[in-house]
Chain A
Amino acid sequence: MSGLTPRKGLVRLLLIKSFADLFFVLALAVSFSFRTFEPRFRGNVDEADALHVAGWAINAADPSSRVEVHLYIDGRFIANTRTGRSRPDVVAAKRIKEAQSGFEFRLPPLDPGEHEARVYVVHRSADNARLTLQLLGRPITFRVGENPVENGSRGGSEVRGGQ
């Protein structure tokens, strides 16, 4: 029986270490995820047509900060900007408290046909070692007509998708 105590201690230590290893890796993964892929971005792409793409975005962790957003059309980078446009409608809908959360991209001329716009929010990790893009809302599909005059008005573009 004299050998039982250290042996029992060893089994306990093995159990504790197994759990400690597991929680250690989990903590690393969750901490990494928070630092790299900030989960508290909110926003949406509300409008897309031949002339512009607009929406709103905030970082719920720091609502007053200006969020950097990137626009991709059909998978190609088009432009980047920061939020700062007034969006009282979103505030009125009680979705956010920060009014200066809107963004708008003016689009370059696009080929006639259907296009897909994706807006990503940019997040820099604490040490700036990683820069990640996170899709805002859903991709939004819009059509550009053959007629430039028609494209000049919102009514000429068909918007599908988005929230």
Chain B
Amino acid sequence: MGPEGDLRCAAANDVEKQNEMRTADVKVDDKTLAAWEIISVISSVLIVAWTIVPLAGESRLVGAVPIALAFALMIQSHRARGESLRDLGFRTDNFFRAIRLLILPMVIGALLLLFAGRIAQALGFGASERMRSVWWIILGGFAWGLLQQYALQGFIHRRLYIIYGRGARTTFLVALIFAGLHAPNFALMAATFASGLVWAYVYERAPNLWALGLSHSTMSWIVIATLPDSIITGLRVGYKYFM
């Protein structure tokens, strides 16, 4: 083989090496990939909670950027993993099963909150001005609850399945992440940890996001209506908590 042949051979080796590197780029372990996805979505929420308000005021347009990125990621992730809306929990066949699982912890939680509110003499049932709007409670509250449950259960919980499988550890981690995202509002962190455990437990047995969204918005309203603002500090989290 002459010098030309050697050159051709070397060029072919280079192309082969480059292809190997490209293949290696996407050879990310599935568990690592799932962990990266979770961290990425959490980081978007943290950016909104901790950097938008101090650095850009309360600009909704700026705040929409990390949220849009997170949604783009979640949607692409569902496509890449072949997950349907039904897989995520947007379904109706198990709605009543999910409600049956939710009803007892919700009643217990509501009674505890009523008791705590009575002690704190804070039963307001609409103390907040915006809570007086029925449409805000029904539509805004439900949409907000559904959105959070989709991100928490339909995405984070499902990615934790990939890493740890189903079980108590995953349920615990879902609740821990949910509580962590409500830092530094300690009262809300405690409430979201407890409710996060229940919602993750129910999602594992009856993955229905409609029921969980309903439960989320109902419990949020009960928390606002029963506990004094000095404890829940307007449900503010992140940097806003200090304002």
Interface residue from B28, B54, B69 paired with A17 (Cβ < 8 Å): B69
Main secondary structure on B side of the interface with A: helix
A42 to chain B, nearest CB (A): 26
Taking CB atoms, residues of chain A closer than 8 Å to B82 are 3
Question: Which residues of A1-55 have CB atoms within 8 Å of chain B's CB atoms?
Answer: 3-4, 6-11, 13-14, 17-18, 20-21, 24-25, 28-29, 31-32
**A7 in contact with B26 given A24-B65, A28-B55, A32-B55 (CB within 8 Å):** yes
- As a 0/1 sequence over residues 175 to 206 of chain B, the CB contacts with chain A under 8 angstroms (1 = contact) are 00000000000000000000000000000000
Q: Check if A28 sits within 8 Å of B80, measured CB to CB.
A: no
CB proximity to A under 8 Å, residues B52-82? 52, 54-57, 62, 65-66, 69-70, 72-73, 76-77, 79-82
Contacts of A24 in B (CB 8 A): 47, 65-66, 69
- Check: B96 CB closer than 8 A to any chain A CB: no
Which chain A positions have C-beta within 8 A of B51?
25, 28-29
The segment out of B35-43, B120-128, B139-147, B218-226 that lies at the interface is: B35-43
A129 in contact (CB, < 8 A):
yes
A-B contact pairs, 11 of them (CB 8 A): A6-B76, A8-B26, A9-B76, A14-B33, A17-B40, A17-B72, A21-B40, A21-B43, A21-B47, A24-B66, A127-B57
Interface, chain B (partner A; CB < 8 A): 25-26, 28, 33, 36-37, 40, 43-44, 47, 51-52, 54-57, 62, 65-66, 69-70, 72-73, 76-77, 79-82
